[in-house]
Amino acid sequence: MNPLRSTHLCGILAAFSFMIVDSAQAAPSADRQPDLRIGVSRSINMMRGNDIYNPTSAGQRIQVSPEGQRWSNFYFALENDGNKSENRIDRVRLKGTGSPRNRVIDTKYFRLTGGRRNITAQMTATGWPETLTEGTIVKYQGMVRYLSPSISRNQNVNIIARSRVDTSKVDAIRALVRPS
């Protein structure tokens, strides 16, 4: 047998073997993954950010323009995108910006799935806890308004979902509040 040929063949097998090991190591990380989406419509299909996971909200942003001191709505959804064959449960904490100290905008949050429920206090303090099996989607509504009609500054409303089971799994969305 040609030694040159067998070395080449071993190199191919070694590279192939490395790829298999690398894939096997990546698989457990898909057990749990919070996935946030955001939009100006309640429709899941009209929201941005499906299957995009990052802590910076890149690719998962919208613009909201309240008129004067009127409330303006946006909607978001949380899904556990983990390995569906494992049927694992994830405990996720949702945290949103907004507080009594913010003198520019007022923010409210509501959980829509299972009936409308005001979760503003939890979202802006310690975070709202959710327990999700893979593929489960929970819908929410956010509301923002300027506290004064004379305010003309842009503000960001950031929402972060972090798995409490695997804290390295994070996703974020952002609504840019811009005067109309």
pTM assigned to the model? 0.80
Could you tell me the residue ranges of all domains in the chain?
1-30, 31-177
Q: What is the pLDDT of residue 101?
A: 66
Q: What is the pLDDT of residue 148?
A: 87
Query: Which range (22-26, 27-31, 60-64, 127-131) has the least confidence?
Result: 22-26
Domain 31-177 superfamily per CATH: Immunoglobulins (2.60.40.10)
DSSP, collapsed to helix, strand or coil, labels residue 61 as: strand
From residue 135, alpha-carbon distances to 87, 147, 168 in Å are: 9, 38, 19
Whether the predicted pLDDT of 7 surpasses 50 = no
pLDDT tens, 114-151?
999 999 999 999 999 999 888 889 999 999 999 888 88
Mean pLDDT over 76-100 rounds to 80
